[in-house]
Amino acid sequence: MTRDERLSRAVWDVLARQGLERLTIRAVAAAAGCTTGLVMHRFPNRRALLRHARDLLHERTRERVERLEAGAATPREALRAVLSQGLALDAETTAESVVWTGFLAAAVADEDLVSLHRANNRAWRERITRLVSAAGLEQGETVALALISLVEGAAALASADPDAYPAPVQQAMLDAVLAAFELR
C-alpha cells in the first residue's frame, strides 16, 4: 500500500469503526501509523477528512452498482441487486452505512459538505428512477424515491441495531415492497 492508500484506509476505518465523534486528525494518524503532520499534509482539516470519506463511499458504491447492473439478466433483477447493495447486509455495507450517517450528521449547516451530498444523491436518484422505469412502472419517480428512502432508512437502522434488522429481514422488506409495486 502506498502512503496515500494507507491514509485513505485510515480515514475510512476511523469513521466506520469509531464514528464521527472520534474522527480526528490524531485518530487518523494513529490508525495509519504516521505523524499528525503527515495526515495534515494530505488532509488540512476535518472537513477534508469528511469529503474524502464521502468520495470513497461514492466510488465504492458506484463501481459495485455498475457491476451489478451489468450482470443482471432483467431490469427487475438489476433494480433489486442495486437496491440490495445499499442495505447493511454484511460488515462492508454496514461500515458504509456508518460512514454515510457520520457524513450526513457532519453536513448540517456546512454548505460545502451538503453540496457534495446533493450532487451524489442526484446521480443515485437518476439511476434508480431509470431502473424503476425500465422495470415497467409508470409512476417511476415517486416509486424510485420511496425505494431509495426505504434502503437508506433500513441501512441506518440496521447499522445501529443489527439484531433488530438482520440481513434476511432487510431483504424481506425490500422484496415485499418490490412485490407490492409489482415490479417485474
Minimum distance from residue 119 beta carbon to a second copy (Å): 10
Task: Round to whole Å and give the CA distance between 158 and 135.
Answer: 27
Answer yes or no: are the C-beta atoms of 154 and 164 closer than 8 Å: no
Per DSSP, 72 falls in state: -
Q: Is 78 left (phi over 0), alpha (psi -120 to 50) or beta?
A: alpha
User: Between residues 34 and 156, which has the closer beta carbon with respect to a second copy?
Assistant: 156
Question: Residue 13 CB, nearest distance to a second copy (Å)?
Answer: 12
Please name the residues in contact with 161: beta carbons below 8 A apart, sequence gap of 6 or more.
Answer: none
Q: What does the alpha-carbon distance between residue 73 and residue 107 come to, in Å, rounded to a whole number?
A: 38
4 vs 111 by CB, closer to a second copy: 111
Report how far residue 59's alpha carbon sits from residue 69's, in angstroms, rounded to the nearest whole number: 15
What residue ranges bind a second copy (CB under 8 A)? 17-22, 46, 98, 101-102, 104-110, 114, 117-118, 121-122, 125, 139, 142-143, 145-146, 148-154, 156-157, 160-161, 164-165, 169, 172-174, 176-177, 180-181
Whichever of 5 and 169 has its CB closer to a second copy, that residue is: 169
Distance between CA 25 and CA 3 in Å, rounded?
Answer: 15
Cβ 172 to a second copy shortest distance, Å: 5
Name the residue nearer to a second copy (CB basis): 39 or 154: 154
Q: How far is the CB of 70 from a second copy (least distance, A)?
A: 26
Q: Work out how close the CB of 126 gets to a second copy at its nearest, in angstroms, rounded to a whole number.
A: 11
Give 38 or 56: the residue with its C-beta nearer to a second copy. 56
Q: Are 125 and 82 in contact (CB under 8 A)?
A: no
Task: Name the phi and psi angles at 161, rounded to 5.
Answer: -150, 75
Closest to a second copy by CB, 71 or 179: 179
CB of 71 to a second copy, least distance (A): 26
